[in-house]
Amino acid sequence: MKLLPTINTPADIKKIPIDRLDDLAEEIREAICAQVQKTGGHLAPNLGVVELSIALHYVFDFAHDRLLFDVGHQCYPHKLLTGRLGKLDKLRTSEGMSGFPEPRESEYDLFTVGHAGTSISTAVGMARGDTLAGEAFDAAIKPDGRRVVSLIGDASIVNGVAMEGLNNAGTLRRQFLVVLNDNGMSIAKPQGAIARYFDRVRLSNLYTDLKRQAARVLDRLPGGSMVEEAYHRAGEATKAMITTDSWFEHFGLITVGPVDGHDVRSLIEILAESRDFDRPMVLHVKTIKGKGFGFTEDDACAFHSPAAFNMQGCRVEMKKKGRSFTAAFGDAMVDLMQRDERIVACTAAMPDGTGISRVLPLFPERAWDVGICESHAMDMMAGLAKTGYKPFFAVYSTFLQRAFDQAFQEVSLQGLPVRLCLDRAGLVGGDGAVHHGFCDVALLRALPGAALTAAIDEPSLIAALEFMRSYEDGLSAVRYPRDNVSERFTGQECPPFELGKARLLTGDAESADVAVLAFGTPALDAVRTAEALAVEYRVAVWDARFAKPVDHVLLRSLLERRVPIITVEDHGVTGGFGAAVVEAAAEMGLDASRVRRLGLPDHWIYQDSRDSQLAEVGIDQAGITRAIRNAVDSVAVETNVAPVQLGRGAAAAGSVAQ
């Protein structure tokens, strides 16, 4: 009988004989792989934590205890163990299971988590809150109190926020368990000195006996008496695993391990003993990313978050999806770096996801992956700019938020020309709210001297990067979506980017009934809309190109002629390109009452296909069509001219007559 369908709550796991838990692990792996094969999703990181997830739920009661996830893409086994098997077949859609922890789905998910390094700090907060409320576990006073567990992995332990969390975790005087899922990987190969330290630990097989090395621990560890007390309460299995030269001991955390993360019986034994420690502890668990399938173990980077794929016997074929903006960017960077020796590039643990993987092997002295450390990356780029180099930082729009302070202080305030290449800008589809790039323009537009651009296709991306290469007056950025590049304008010459100048894509600027100013790829849907409505209306569509500075000359011309303007962007309406247009009109003392803004609304957009999300917020072709018709209808009411008479240029005539 299959075990997985019988699990409605984690309590059902405890009813399964321990010798059958490996069968449960195999069923979970098969279920996850079969689904990701159809829909895409995070595969390798979830395959690596199956036994660990089973053991955690077997030992703890997370309906009562606290489980905090880091880099939430390792949560699929947890979700299946908490009664969500029925949502798996609609993974990453509005009707199914989110690919990240999601409190709307289950009481077992405490935070919506999509960024790295956060779990230790949020866990410290919950530990302190439970202590203040008198609900914390205490073996002597409150044995039924809440325990707290932070599960951190995929090399996010190197993140600066994780360091800050560890620094504070060591001051706790209560049970607090950090489970380090050490799979020797990040999203890509982990980088830096800490990663090399864990490599040495994994190779050294440190299974030491505390009795032989207690003196060293107590001599080196601040508050060594805490270790001594904890040791007296520890079981024999845990004592034998305490590591005496751990990096974590300097934070005041007892360290156990490394232990085998795929031996579920041993994991249960170690967790059962360590759960009652009344001092902070790190359990160092060695796992294999992609465990269970040869193709995922052999190439965990490619199968970290693959698109849908086909299995042909032992051979795996990725489904073709066309040429992505990411691939186009990677090739463009190779060309730029070949032509300009002053260009340097970096990414923060996303070499494949940003396309920097294409330049890393070609320019090993001028390109870097710094690991999951966006803040460091921004400051490093500032340092390179200060020495006269031309830095390009490739980062997901949503992860740029983690480096905004550095963009402000070390880049913009210094007037340094750091160049940001913002992949996954706008709506991202199945990854949902945690990964939408909806506020990069709003953040960066506040920085004096910033030049903010967007690409609509590959030629315009290349042109934007060339503009940024020569822009020396401050920070610059280009944004582009998680999508394929369009070939709609490939046959036409792409004019160079000129600071604050838009590009007319279709229509007559002088006789337009409606003007659409589109920032980024929504321009393509705007062009299709204009062509579909050509019999009814004269619609002029501009590729706005810049959200800062916007094209003041164009705006003045349209606003003074009272032409209705529709702005459209794959970004929040709050602080975005449309807001910049309205602000520019106010600065020029012009009436902006005929400006209508389309963009992401002031509420969260959850997981689904990107096309469905675009339709939901009304920035697809249908939404732009509605906006154009509404604009014409409004002019008709304003000018007392029947809508049917306003087509083909009459709107402009009506406004003149007014």
Q: Is the same domain home to 168 and 45?
A: yes
Q: Which of 479, 495, 513 is the last residue of a domain?
A: 479
Which of 66, 79, 402, 469 is catalytic? The answer is: 402
Q: Is residue 303 part of a domain?
A: no
Q: Is the same domain home to 44 and 192?
A: yes
Q: Is residue 317 part of a domain?
A: no
Tell me the C-alpha to C-alpha distance, in Å, between residue 24 and each of 29, 59, 75, 369, 486: 9, 16, 16, 37, 45
What's the rounded mean pLDDT across residues 398-417? Answer: 97
Q: Is the same domain home to 509 and 475?
A: no
Q: Which residues contact 644 (CB under 8 A, 6 or more apart)?
A: none
Both tokens of 101, joined, read: 């922890």
- For the cut 60, the answer to whether the pLDDT of residue 196 exceeds it is no
Q: Is the same domain home to 118 and 60?
A: yes
Report the percentage of the chain scoring pLDDT > 90.
74
Determine the Cα–Cα distance for residues 575 and 595; give it in Å rounded to an integer: 15
For position 81, what pLDDT does the model report?
A: 97
pLDDT tens for 76-125 read 999 999 999 999 999 999 999 999 999 999 999 999 998 889 999 999 99
Domain that holds residue 540: 504-657
- 241 — pLDDT class (breaks 50, 70, 90): low
Region label for 562, one of left (φ > 0), alpha (ψ between -120 and 50) or beta (otherwise): left
Is position 289 annotated as part of the catalytic site?
Answer: yes
Q: Is the same domain home to 444 and 508?
A: no
For position 499, what pLDDT does the model report?
A: 98
Both tokens of 171, joined, read: 């001051």
- For the cut 80, the answer to whether the pLDDT of residue 225 exceeds it is no
Instruction: Give the CATH number for residue 439.
Output: 3.40.50.970
Instruction: Give the CATH number for residue 561.
Output: 3.40.50.920
Q: Which of 445, 479, 513 is the last residue of a domain?
A: 479
Q: Is residue 297 part of a domain?
A: no
- For the cut 70, the answer to whether the pLDDT of residue 510 exceeds it is yes
- For the cut 70, the answer to whether the pLDDT of residue 557 exceeds it is yes
What's the rounded mean pLDDT across residues 387-415? Answer: 97
For position 207, what pLDDT does the model report?
A: 33
Q: Is residue 360 part of a domain?
A: yes
AA identity, residue 569: E
AA identity, residue 433: A
Q: Is residue 299 part of a domain?
A: no
Number of domains in the chain: 3
Which of 27, 51, 105, 374 is catalytic? The answer is: 374
Q: Is residue 81 part of a domain?
A: yes
Q: Which residues contact 298 (CB under 8 A, 6 or more apart)?
A: 290
pLDDT tens for 144-180 read 999 999 999 867 888 889 989 999 999 999 999 999 9
What CA dihedral angle connects 455, 456, 457 and 462, to 10 degrees?
-20
Q: Is residue 493 part of a domain?
A: no
DSSP letters, 451-481, are EEEE-SSHHHHHHHHHHHHH--SS-EEEE--
Among 64, 446, 440, 457, which Cα is nearest to 275's?
Answer: 64
- 298 — pLDDT class (breaks 50, 70, 90): confident
- Do 243 and 256 touch, CB atoms closer than 8 A? yes
For position 185, what pLDDT does the model report?
A: 53
- For the cut 60, the answer to whether the pLDDT of residue 649 exceeds it is no
For position 283, what pLDDT does the model report?
A: 92
Q: Which of 257, 286, 315 is the last residue of a domain?
A: 286
Q: Is the same domain home to 408 and 538?
A: no
Average pLDDT, the chain: 88
Q: Which residue has the higher pLDDT, 209 or 573?
A: 573
pLDDT tens for 445-472 read 999 999 999 999 999 999 999 999 999 9
- For the cut 80, the answer to whether the pLDDT of residue 540 exceeds it is yes
Q: Which of 237-246, 265-274, 617-626 has the lowest mean pLDDT?
A: 237-246
Report the percentage of the chain scoring pLDDT > 70.
85
Longest dimension (CA), the chain: 96
For position 243, what pLDDT does the model report?
A: 60
Is position 26 annotated as part of the catalytic site?
Answer: no
Q: Is the same domain home to 446 and 509?
A: no
- 303 — pLDDT class (breaks 50, 70, 90): confident
Q: Which of 104-108, 317-321, 379-383, 552-556 has the lowest mean pLDDT?
A: 317-321
- 203 — pLDDT class (breaks 50, 70, 90): very low
Q: Is the same domain home to 258 and 221?
A: yes
Q: Is the same domain home to 545 and 433?
A: no
Q: Which residues contact 219 (CB under 8 A, 6 or more apart)?
A: none
- For the cut 90, the answer to whether the pLDDT of residue 643 exceeds it is no
What's the rounded mean pLDDT across residues 323-341? Answer: 97
Q: Which residues contact 535 (CB under 8 A, 6 or more apart)?
A: none
Helix, strand, coil percentages (3-state) for the chain, rounded to 5, are 45, 15, 40
pLDDT tens for 30-48 read 999 999 999 899 999 999 9
Q: Which of 45-54, 198-207, 588-597 has the lowest mean pLDDT?
A: 198-207
- Do 95 and 40 touch, CB atoms closer than 8 A? no
Is position 410 annotated as part of the catalytic site?
Answer: no
Q: Is the same domain home to 220 and 368?
A: no
Q: Is the same domain home to 69 and 209?
A: yes
Query: What are the φ and ψ backbone dihedral angles of 485, each rounded to 5 degrees?
Result: -80, 140
Q: Is residue 39 part of a domain?
A: yes
Which of 289, 390, 596, 597 is catalytic? The answer is: 289
Task: Give strand pairing partners of 504.
Answer: 542
Q: Is the same domain home to 192 and 258?
A: yes
- 189 — pLDDT class (breaks 50, 70, 90): low
For position 622, what pLDDT does the model report?
A: 96
Q: Give the H/E segment covering residue 518.
A: strand 514-519
